[in-house]
C-alpha cells in the first residue's frame, strides 16, 4: 500500500473520535506526495510519517476554580507537546467552551509545520481548556488562570515548552499565568511564556503580529499577480486580536475592510473599518460580550444576524480570522460564483478540505493559514530571543524582522512549488517546506 495512505489509515484507526485532527492529517499528508515519493525508503526506515502524526506527549488535567459566588467549577486543561525536533515546544493556549482533545491535537499538529516555516528554532505544541471566558469577571479569570498554571508549570519552561495566547487568551491572561508561574518556581524565567506585557518582557508588535504578518504575506501574493493592495476590498471574519491587526495594516496600506463577524452574525460597513472603528474592536473584545452587533449599533452600518460573509459579500480578498472550518463547500461554491480570487487564510484551518480542493480547481488562490498566520508565533520567537539576551528591540526592528520572515516564508514556498512542479499551489508548498526541516531533524536525531 501507498505509504501516505497507510499512515492516514493508521491515524483513522487510532483516533476515531477526532475529526479535526484527522482532517489536518489528511490535508497535510496527502499534499506531501512529491517529497515522500522522492525519499520514501529513508522516511519509511525512520518511521517519519508514523512519528509525525503521534504527539510526543499529551497532558490532560483537572482545573478547579471558584466563581464570585464561591461556587466550585471544574474544567479540563490540556497541553499537547507534539514535536520537539527543531526546538522547544511552542504554541498558544486556547480557552473556549468547545475545546477538546481533537481540537488541541489539530492545532498542535499544524503548529509543528507553521513554526518550522518561520525558520526559527521552535517545535510545536498547543494547549488550553474548555473554560468559557465570556461573561466572567476579572477575578474569576485570574483565579482560573492561576489554577490552570498550578498544574501546567511542571510541564513547561523556557527550554522545554513555551506557551502563548490563542482564542480567549491574551495579554491579561498571560500576565496572570506568568505571575503564578513565577510565584511557584521562585525564579524569573522570562522566556517561559510569550505575549507578555511590555513592562515585564513582552515584545513590541506581538499583539499586531498575526494580522500584520498575514497582510505582509498577502503583499507577496499580490506582487506575484501584478496587483497592489491599494483600493482592494476585503471581507474579514472575527473581531478579535487577529482581525484587529489585519484591519489596522490593511487600512494603513489603502485597502478597505467591509466586514467583521462574531458568533451573532456579521456587519457590513460600506465605508470601511478604519480609524476609531479599529480601536473600537479592542473595546468590543474587552467587553467580554462576544457580539459584533455592537459595532453596527455604534456606527450605524448593516448587521446580518446568524450569517457569515462568505459567498454573500463581493470583495477582492477574503480573510477568515475567526476559527476552524468557517468556510465549507457551499460557501466555496458561492465564492466561485461571485468571483472571489484570493482566499488568505488567517485563522487556523478555516477551510474544509473539500472546500480547499474546490477553490483551487476553480482558480482561486488559497494562501494557507500555516504560512499566513505564522507572523504571530514568529514574533513570539523574537520575544524569546529578546528575553534570552535580556534586551528589548524597538518597534521598527521587530516589524522589519517580521516582514523579512514573512517574505522568506513566501519565497521558500514558491521555490518548492517550482522544484516539484506544483504550479502555484501554496497549500502544498507550505506543507512540504514545513515538513522537510522537521523530517531532516528527526532523521538526524534517530528513532526517538
Which active-site residues does the annotation give? 126
Residue nearest to ligand GLU (CB): 92
* Contact status, residue 353 vs residue 23, Cβ threshold 8 Å: yes
Q: Rounded to 5 degrees, what are φ and ψ at 435? A: -65, -45
Please check whether residue 162 is in contact with residue 92, taking contact to mean a CB–CB distance below 8 angstroms: no
3-state SS assignment for residue 439: helix
| b/e per residue 26-61 (b: at least 16 CB within 10 A) | ebbbebbbbbbeebeeebeebebbebbbbbbebbeb
Measured between alpha carbons, how far is residue 80 from residues 83, 94, 433 in Å?
9, 12, 23
Nearer to ligand GLU, 259 or 369 (CB): 369
Report in angstroms how near the CB of residue 81 gets to ligand GLU at its nearest. 13
DSSP class of residue 202? P
- Closest distance to ligand GLU from the beta carbon of 203 (Å): 10
Do the beta carbons of residue 278 and residue 248 sit within 8 Å? yes
Binding site for ligand GLU (CB under 6 A): 90-92, 164, 166, 194, 348, 373, 376-377, 380
* Cα angle for residues 358, 361, 364 (degrees, 5° grid): 85
Q: How far is the CB of 245 from ligand GLU (least distance, A)?
A: 12
**Closer CB to ligand GLU, 207 or 255, in the complex:** 207
Q: Measured from the CB of residue 92, what is the shortest distance to ligand GLU in angstroms?
A: 3
- Report the alpha-carbon distance of residue 56 to residue 265 in Å, rounded: 39
Cell of 138: 476579572
Cell of 298: 455604534
Residue 372: count of CB within 10 angstroms of its CB: 32
String of b and e for 112-124 (b: at least 16 CB within 10 Å)? Answer: bbbbbbbbbebbb
CB of 242 to ligand GLU, least distance (A): 9
CB of 13 to ligand GLU, least distance (A): 28
Nearer Cβ to ligand GLU (36/164): 164
Closest to ligand GLU by CB, 91 or 202: 91
Beta carbon nearer to ligand GLU, 140 or 383: 383
Closest to ligand GLU by CB, 380 vs 386, is 380
Reading across the β-sheet that carries 342-344, which strands appear in turn? 302-305, 265-268, 256-262, 233-236, 317-319, 342-344, 365-367
Question: Residue holding cell 518511521?
Answer: 47
Amino acid at each position: 500500500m501507498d505509504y501516505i495512505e497507510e499512515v492516514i489509515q493508521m491515524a483513522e484507526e487510532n483516533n476515531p473520535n477526532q475529526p479535526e485532527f484527522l482532517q489536518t492529517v489528511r490535508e497535510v499528508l496527502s499534499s506531501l506526495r512529491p517529497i515522500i515519493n522522492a525519499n520514501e525508503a529513508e522516511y519509511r526506515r525512520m518511521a517519519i510519517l508514523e512519528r509525525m502524526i503521534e504527539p510526543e506527549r499529551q497532558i490532560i488535567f483537572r482545573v478547579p476554580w471558584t466563581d464570585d459566588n464561591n461556587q466550585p467549577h471544574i474544567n479540563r486543561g490540556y497541553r499537547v507537546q507534539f514535536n520537539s525536533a527543531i526546538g522547544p515546544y511552542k504554541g498558544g493556549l486556547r480557552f473556549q467552551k468547545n475545546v477538546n482533545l481533537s481540537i488541541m491535537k489539530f492545532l498542535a499538529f499544524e503548529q509543528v509545520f507553521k513554526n518550522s516555516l518561520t525558520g526559527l528554532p521552535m517545535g510545536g505544541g498547543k494547549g488550553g481548556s474548555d473554560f468559557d471566558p465570556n461573561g466572567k469577571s476579572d477575578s474569576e479569570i485570574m483565579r482560573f488562570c492561576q489554577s490552570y498554571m498550578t498544574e501546567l508549570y511542571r510541564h513547561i519552561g523556557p527550554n522545554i515548552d513555551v506557551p502563548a495566547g490563542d482564542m480567549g487568551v491574551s495579554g491579561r491572561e498571560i500576565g496572570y499565568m506568568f505571575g503564578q508561574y513565577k510565584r511557584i518556581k521562585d525564579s524569573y524565567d522570562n522566556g517561559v511564556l510569550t505575549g507578555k506585557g511590555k513592562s515585564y518582557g513582552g515584545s513590541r508588535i506581538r499583539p499586531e503580529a498575526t494580522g500584520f504578518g498575514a497582510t505582509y504575506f498577502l503583499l507577496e501574493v499580490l506582487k506575484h499577480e501584478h496587483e497592489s493592495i491599494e483600493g482592494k476590498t476585503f471581507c474579514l471574519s472575527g473581531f478579535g486580536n487577529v482581525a484587529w491587526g489585519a484591519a489596522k495594516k490593511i487600512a494603513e496600506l489603502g485597502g478597505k475592510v467591509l466586514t467583521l463577524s462574531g458568533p451573532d452574525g456579521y456587519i457590513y460597513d460600506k465605508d470601511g473599518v478604519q480609524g476609531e472603528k479599529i480601536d473600537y474592536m479592542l473595546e468590543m473584545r474587552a467587553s467580554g460580550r462576544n457580539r459584533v452587533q455592537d459595532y453596527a449599533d455604534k456606527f450605524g452600518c448593516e448587521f446580518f444576524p446568524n450569517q457569515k460573509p462568505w459567498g454573500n459579500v463581493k470583495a477582492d480578498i477574503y480573510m477568515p480570522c475567526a476559527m476552524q472550518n468557517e468556510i465549507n463547500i457551499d460557501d466555496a461554491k458561492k465564492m466561485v460564483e461571485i468571483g472571489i480570487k484570493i482566499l488568505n487564510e488567517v485563522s487556523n484551518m478555516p477551510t474544509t478540505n473539500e472546500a480547499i480542493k474546490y477553490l483551487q480547481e476553480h482558480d482561486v488562490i488559497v494562501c494557507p493559514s500555516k504560512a499566513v498566520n505564522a507572523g504571530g508565533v514568529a514574533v513570539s520567537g523574537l520575544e524569546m530571543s529578546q528575553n534570552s539576551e535580556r534586551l528589548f528591540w524597538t518597534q521598527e526592528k521587530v516589524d522589519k524582522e517580521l516582514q523579512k520572515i514573512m517574505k522568506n516564508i513566501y519565497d521558500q514556498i514558491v521555490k518548492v512549488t517550482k522544484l516539484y512542479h506544483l504550479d502555484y499551489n501554496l497549500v502544498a508548498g507550505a506543507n512540504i517546506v514545513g515538513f522537510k526541516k522537521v523530517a531532516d531533524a528527526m532523521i538526524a536525531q534517530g528513532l526517538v
